[in-house]
Amino acid sequence: MDHKPWPLLILAFIHLIEPISKIIFYSLFFNITPSHVVLSVYQSETLFNFLQFFFLFPIAGIAIYSVKKWSLPVFLIVEAWVFYINAGYLNELYQTQQLWLFGSFVLFGLLNLAIVTYLLIPAVRIAYLDPRVRWWEAQPRYSVNLECVIDNKMAGFIKNISADGVFIKTENDLAIDSDARLIFKFTAPSIEFSLNTKIQVLHKFNINDVTGYGAKFVGLSKDNKHFINALIKFLDKSNVERRPPHRNLKGFIRWFTTLIKTGEGLIIRNKLNSIRR
């Protein structure tokens, strides 16, 4: 699954298409064709500068999108290099009174500075430095209500399930970091399975006003893995409510609308409940 936060996807996209945006900008500003812009860059620049023109910002975009420990250093190096190589050009534009072009580059520089500042905000930076807060790397969870048996005696209900584990509501106490035996059945018109497998209890927490235990599957047999995968596939095709929801245009519009109205959604959430599996 890859449901990275919208702000990171947007910033990555902006950097990936920067060469195209730059070509369009020069084409409109100097009233020439895009192909003429590319040809001019090819003819007037060294190979190193040509590669910088087309690949520098996409490298930063890949770094933003990857959300790994190496991402921030690579991104910051690219941004620092961009400021360095453009400083002299900005001075030249100012000295030659090309103020419209100078102003455009200043705005571009301020936008880059804002992006750097955003990625260095602690709540955003931690996603690159600590894999535990990358909730989008977890398997999607599907809402169910399946009666289950724990250690052949304790009864409970599985409230959601993923390929990695389950969230169990039970009136009985389960010891954290303990192992248990989980048994449950799933029956639908076109599918019927039963599962008997070992789980490890990881957390006790609350989801949607339901207190229960998060547990992961341990030592799944080949048949049990097949069962779980088939069940997840069935639930997904059946449009069962899942967390996070599928990525689509409606989701983007909902996020953007919330951002405009409330300001929420710009900072990456990393609450503990968001990273539990």
Average pLDDT over residues 113-123: 92
pLDDT the model gives residue 209: 77
Task: Give ∠ CA 176-165-225 in degrees, rounded to 5.
Answer: 135
Helical residues (DSSP H) of 33-70, grouped into ranges: 34-44, 47-66
What's the rounded Cα separation, in Å, for the pair 66 and 72?
Answer: 10
Could you report the per-residue pLDDT of 1-16, keeping only the tens digit for each? 457 899 999 999 999 9
pLDDT the model gives residue 2: 54
pLDDT the model gives residue 271: 47
pLDDT at 189 over 60: yes
Q: Mean pLDDT check: name the lowest of 131-145, 153-167, 220-234.
A: 131-145
- Closest by CA to 155, choosing from 212, 104, 72, 208, is 212
Cis before 244? omega within 30: yes
Could you report the per-residue pLDDT of 15-41, keeping only the tens digit for each? 999 999 999 999 998 899 999 999 988
Could you report the per-residue pLDDT of 40-80, keeping only the tens digit for each? 888 887 888 889 999 999 999 999 999 999 999 999 999 99
pLDDT the model gives residue 214: 94
Average pLDDT over residues 236-262: 87
Give backbone dihedrals phi and psi of 276, rounded to 5 degrees, phi first: -75, 145
pLDDT at 158 over 60: yes
Could you report the per-residue pLDDT of 194-241, keeping only the tens digit for each? 899 999 999 998 877 788 999 999 989 999 999 999 999 999 999 899
pLDDT the model gives residue 270: 59
Identify the CATH number of the domain defined by range 141-243: 2.40.10.220
Instruction: Name which residue leads in pLDDT, 246 or 51.
Output: 51
pLDDT the model gives residue 139: 86
Could you report the per-residue pLDDT of 140-150, keeping only the tens digit for each? 999 999 999 99
Q: What is the pTM of this model?
A: 0.76
pLDDT at 185 over 70: yes
pLDDT the model gives residue 277: 38
Q: What are the boundaries of each domain within the chain?
A: 6-133, 141-243
Helix (H) or strand (E) holding 160: strand 154-161
Average pLDDT, the chain: 88
pLDDT the model gives residue 276: 40
Residues 148, 168: contact at Cβ < 8 Å?
A: yes
